[in-house]
Structure 1
Amino acid sequence: MKETSTNVRPFSMKDKIGITLGDLGCCCTEQFRAMFLTVFYTLVLQVNPFHVGILMLVTKIWDAVNDPIIGALVDMRRAKKGGKFIPWIRAFSFPMAVLCILGFVNVSNLDYGFRIGYMFVTYVLYEAMYTCVNVPFGSLSSVMTDDTRQRTALSRYRSLGGTIFMTVIVMVGPLVLYDNNNQPLPGRFLMMASVCALVGLLCLQITCVWCKERVVLPVPEKKEKLHYLDIIKHVAKNRAFMGVVLFSFIGMVGASIVNGLNTYLFRDWFGDVKVMAASGALNTVYALIVFAFTQPVANKLGKKEWCVAGAGGAAIVFAFLFFFPIHNPVLFIVINGLCYLGASGMQVLVWALVNDAIDYQELQTGERNEGIMYSAYSFFRKLANAVSGSFSSFALGIIGYQVSEAVQTTEVVNRIWKTYTGSYVIGYGLAALVLFLLYPLGKKKTQEMLEQLKAKRAANAAK
């Protein structure tokens, strides 16, 4: 039976800002690496894109395998005075920040084999520490409140953290990391990694103070053995959970490949990597619009409905661009931004969809297992990152991108455009189709589920 702690203050704006800062803290290291680590490996360390792809594929898949293990350890830990999830975030955010910085040390003077070895060690260790922070943080919102509107608000505020970071880094990164000839400045990568790591560490420590765990599960007097395989079976039978997992997986693969190629698109297709800063400025406006209107639109249309319509519409626009390329970067930035408005529900509401899937699990089995369910979801997110990060590197190798050349051939440049737009179409289009066909919790079904769950909890409490 679930209980609500009365020893902490009521849910407030402080919790919302805390969850925003937590996501910002995670994004400061993870998204910075996602945007610039491949660029650093290829253009600064001069590592073959195929080798970068293999490195990311192997290490990310291994890291994804670790996620359910960390989730199980989190679930088995008794909630203490500091909470069940917050102590993990507080402790592991320090080594995560250090390893983010070490990943951008310029070791290009080392032999090629030693460069690969250094990349492998720093990559694996960082991902292990990030897992120990991100799995508990992902589970945190489910124990901060059991009110559906407050959970939607937390999902919205959480997405704001990533939006803030992406807005700033897209504006500042291109202006700081490259010279006037579009060539990377190695020392600037380390400098920005250090700033991002320290800001991320500060944000996560504030999250540990401002976010409060209120929903607790009573611990049985006799410690029972965790039937891990049984829980995995239940998760596999959860249609809502599998729907949001596949939706997120496919969408993330498409979006991550696009993000991985973003720098090369502006550097080689448009011929000016610094114009990416204009995209960051425009995204500030779009981010404010998304933040203001996502929740009322989702309340009106339904979370599933909004995600399907927005992502599907964006895929149609990029299908047109695939066949009719444009060379004006400003026009592209405007069109891309409008598509972001449409597809924003896919990014902003996914955490609310996961929480609804956890409720669906509780309705089916009587158990929530937030840590394992979130870590299972995180496993597929990490797997998506592994595949997509590798695919963007493999794509560069396949299209013939030469890391030692300042200027690419016309044929290679044209292939960058086709790969970029095609990845967007396939990723977002298939994601929208999967959510529409598989995920059962539309607006009406979600409300019915919550009413049934409320009655079931009341009946259990009366026993």
Structure 2
Amino acid sequence: MAQQTGAEATVGSGGGARVRPFSMLDKLGYTLGDLGCCCTEQFRSMYLSTFYILVLQINPVHVGILLLITKIWDAINDPLVGALVDMHRAKPGKAKFTPWIRLFSFPMAVLCVLGFINASDWDYAIRIGYCFITYVLYEFLYTCVNVPFGSLSAVMTEDPKHRTALSRYRSLGGTIFMTVLVMVGPLFLYVDNNPVPGRFLMLASICALLGFLFLQITCVWCKERVIAPPRPKDEKFNWLEVIKKIGRNRPLIGVIVFSLLGIVGASVVNGLNVYLFRDYFGNVKLQSAMGGISTLFSLAAFFLIQPLANHFGKKEWCVIGAGVAAAVMAVLFFFPLHDPMVFIGIYCGCYLFASAMQVLIWALLNDAIDYHEYMTGERSEGVMYSAYSFFRKLANAVSGSLSAFILGFIGYNVTAGAVQTQQVIDSIWSAWTGSYAIGYGLAAIVLALVYPLTKSKTEEMLAELKRRRAERAAQGEAVVQDVEE
């Protein structure tokens, strides 16, 4: 038989056996995959900088420099890993991406735990060196898991509705973890507003173990169905040439810049959350209340975004949602609130709109990957996803270090038990709301002006790609029949 494509492809089940149709099992598996990645990455994103500053008592400026350097290196190795993934030729009937996830998820979990060892009694220079080494090694291993996982959705299905569903379910994994972590973390990690070092290590170990188990389930439940035309064995994969073509992919550029700006705003906010509640509102455990209330809004967003995206279009609803959230935070920048529960209510309302960006970004990326095939006739999911991941991690590098730099700039005192000045406390509020408003506002403007795939244009592109793939499949069948005759 000729090689099949699309929903009837024969990948992932071994021996050329037909893969089961796309189903809820794929959605749940993809949810668990994102949950598995978030168990280590989001835990580190939320608490590692805080651990460095409040537990290891490293100068916030030094933390910012460390995060900036390591994240830039992490971003640089993304295209390298993506090229390796695309160069790998899976055997007929075998999966291309899940073996990477299965192999690297365990060492990634180990490095996550090692990053939270209490080294506060070590020499200052040795502390920084240890943080640097464990950070770099973890991020490399995370790339070896996350690039294949991100590429996986592009080969699980060709159906645009299924892809939007996968994007929603992927965001559900992150939302579940973030909600639990925001609720549990402040209650467990702090006593009398002060961090407990051993509890950071304990929670890191739990998250790492759960992440490893979830990713292993993903490798079993998620099936690869869309098969790119095989490359000749003597053809060398020129990933530099592919990256040049990516530079001419306007939808991908739009997604990259949109995501970069949004991540900077959101990550700076996440980096300052502890200090907003600990110092501005005076009780770090109020973060748990925000996590509990935001759960309801997260569930509402999960069920509402698909019909809204189907009606307005993915691009259109992302622009609306990010724009509304940015406008509200711009108002709060000029009119500070001191009642934490009122603030939490307004924040959760903004999340309902801003979540459009977080939920649909992966569907926009899949459309950009299809646009590359539409324009060139080639599919390079690994390199294209890693190119996106490269800039996404650059954004994380800037934003992760920026929150630390902000703390250093405003004069935050890291001494144990120190009380911050009123000027520092007011500056925390301004930095939090300002970062949110600028990040999401600019993101909405960029997506509106740069990303060309409106609802109608996306539908036209996907219909044309489906026609081309059907023609290739028919031609392949015809060639096989001629040979057999």
**Is the TM-score greater than 0.5?**
yes
Query: 1:285-330 CA deviation, whole Å, 9 max, x = no partner?
Result: 0111011111111001100010000100000000100000001111
Say which of 24, 40, 43 aligns to 1:29. 40
The answer as to whether partners of 1:63 and 1:382 remain within 8 angstroms in 2 is yes
CA distance in 2, matches of 1:422, 1:394: 15
Say which of 110, 126, 130 aligns to 2:122. 110
Q: Where does residue 99 of structure 1 map in the other structure?
A: 111
User: Please, what TM-score do these two structures have when normalized by structure 2?
Assistant: 0.94
Q: Where does residue 3 of structure 1 map in the other structure?
A: 5
1:444 CA displacement:
1.2
1:161 CA displacement:
0.2
Q: Where does residue 394 of structure 2 map in the other structure?
A: 383
Query: 1:113-165 CA deviation, whole Å, 9 max, x = no partner?
Result: 01001100110000010000000000001111111111111111010000000
Larger deviation, residues 452-461 vs 292-301? 452-461
Say which of 145, 152, 155 aligns to 1:133. 145
The answer as to whether partners of 2:5 and 2:473 remain within 8 angstroms in 1 is no
CA distance in 2, matches of 1:414, 1:152: 41
Q: Where does residue 174 of structure 2 map in the other structure?
A: 162
1:79 CA displacement:
1.8
CA distance in 2, matches of 1:14, 1:320: 43
Asked if 1:369 is matched to 2:380, the reply is yes
AA of the residue aligned to 1:400: G
Asked if 1:248 is matched to 2:250, the reply is no
Say which of 58, 66, 85 aligns to 2:77. 66
AA of the residue aligned to 2:144: C
SS of residue paired to 1:216: coil
Say which of 44, 47, 57 aligns to 2:68. 57
1:3 CA displacement:
1.9
CA distance in 2, matches of 1:234, 1:461: 26
Query: 1:210-251 CA deviation, whole Å, 9 max, x = no partner?
Result: 111111124244331112222111100010010011000110
The answer as to whether partners of 2:30 and 2:218 remain within 8 angstroms in 1 is yes
The answer as to whether partners of 2:97 and 2:148 remain within 8 angstroms in 1 is yes
1:461 CA displacement:
3.6
The answer as to whether partners of 1:102 and 1:122 remain within 8 angstroms in 2 is yes
1:264-343 → structure 2 map (5 Å cutoff): 264-343=275-354
AA of the residue aligned to 1:57: L
Q: Where does residue 152 of structure 1 map in the other structure?
A: 164
Asked if 1:124 is matched to 2:141, the reply is no
1:441-456 → structure 2 map (5 Å cutoff): 441-456=453-468
1:411 CA displacement:
0.5
Say which of 405, 413, 433 aligns to 1:394. 405
The answer as to whether partners of 1:269 and 1:416 remain within 8 angstroms in 2 is yes
Q: Where does residue 478 of structure 2 map in the other structure?
A: none
The answer as to whether partners of 1:183 and 1:406 remain within 8 angstroms in 2 is no
CA distance in 2, matches of 1:223, 1:346: 42
CA distance in 2, matches of 1:454, 1:207: 27
SS of residue paired to 2:194: coil
Identity %: 68
The answer as to whether partners of 2:101 and 2:149 remain within 8 angstroms in 1 is yes
1:82 CA displacement:
4.4
The answer as to whether partners of 1:14 and 1:211 remain within 8 angstroms in 2 is yes
1:44 CA displacement:
0.2
Q: Where does residue 12 of structure 1 map in the other structure?
A: 23
Asked if 1:189 is matched to 2:189, the reply is no
1:2 CA displacement:
7.2
SS of residue paired to 2:247: helix
Could you say if the C-alpha distance between residues 328 and 394 of structure 1 is closer, same or farther in structure 2, counting changes exceeding 3 Å? same
CA distance in 2, matches of 1:340, 1:173: 20
Mark the runs of 5 or more structure 1 residues left unpaired by the alignment: none
Asked if 1:457 is matched to 2:478, the reply is no
Q: Where does residue 198 of structure 1 map in the other structure?
A: 209
Query: 1:82-136 CA deviation, whole Å, 9 max, x = no partner?
Result: 4100000001000000000000000000010010011001100000100000000
The answer as to whether partners of 2:48 and 2:116 remain within 8 angstroms in 1 is yes
Asked if 1:258 is matched to 2:269, the reply is yes
**Number of equivalences:** 462
Query: 1:39-66 CA deviation, whole Å, 9 max, x = no partner?
Result: 0000000000000000000010001000
Asked if 1:416 is matched to 2:418, the reply is no
Say which of 42, 52, 57 aligns to 1:41. 52
AA of the residue aligned to 1:310: G
CA distance in 2, matches of 1:26, 1:18: 12
Larger deviation, residues 296-305 vs 219-228? 219-228
SS of residue paired to 2:83: helix
SS of residue paired to 2:224: coil
CA distance in 2, matches of 1:204, 1:92: 10
Query: 1:2-35 CA deviation, whole Å, 9 max, x = no partner?
Result: 7242421111111000000000000000000000
Q: Where does residue 143 of structure 1 map in the other structure?
A: 155
The answer as to whether partners of 2:85 and 2:97 remain within 8 angstroms in 1 is yes
CA distance in 2, matches of 1:313, 1:220: 46
Mark the runs of 5 or more structure 2 residues left unpaired by the alignment: 11-17, 476-485
CA distance in 2, matches of 1:223, 1:131: 28
The answer as to whether partners of 1:89 and 1:137 remain within 8 angstroms in 2 is yes
The answer as to whether partners of 1:304 and 1:436 remain within 8 angstroms in 2 is yes
Could you say if the C-alpha distance between residues 411 and 221 of structure 1 is closer, same or farther in structure 2, counting changes exceeding 3 Å? closer
Asked if 1:216 is matched to 2:227, the reply is yes
1:454 CA displacement:
2.1
